[in-house]
Amino acid sequence: MLCPCQSGLTYHACCKPLIKKQKHPSSPLELMRSRYSAFVVGDVDYLIYSDLHSTQADKAEILAFAKGVEWISLEILESYDDIVEFQAYYKLNGTLQVLHERSRFVVHNGRWHYAEGRLLNSKIERNAPCPCKSGKKIKKCCGT
């Protein structure tokens, strides 16, 4: 299967070794992509493992969010130093939503962790190309 992070690589060659903790992400961007993939495949252990603040106590809540939505796509807007800004598109109860966040990452115990994120306001532009890459406009595709 293709990697959920949309790198164009197979899952096996891309995020899976990170999610299975066989190797560590080499950059905040790699970690960000692998965390998106972990949301898609519902690997909550990895989401907790790679987050500075989450604990096992948060597991049910994270799993409910990961599994309660239909993930559509990840778009990286900017990435430098310890910052990654992205938009993650998903459907909640059939309605297209976008999570636009500017995340900061830190090295802790020798590997990158998600430290914090600032949510930014983004609206779904109904005439924009659909994030699912169908080639159709959002309003004629996932945004109907």
The contact set with Zn ion (CB under 5 A) reads 3, 5, 7, 14-15, 33, 130, 132, 134, 141-142
CB 60, min distance to Zn ion, A? 26
CB 2, min distance to Zn ion, A? 9
- CB burial of 18-31 (b: ≥16 within 10 Å; e: otherwise) equals bbeeeeebeebbbb
CB 131, min distance to Zn ion, A? 7
DSSP reduced 3-state for 142: coil
Residue (36 or 85) nearer to Zn ion, CB: 36
Residue with tokens 């239909």: 70
* Dihedral angle of Cα 76, 80, 82, 85, to the nearest 10 degrees: -30
Residue (52 or 76) nearer to Zn ion, CB: 76
Query: Structure tokens of 19?
Result: 């999610």
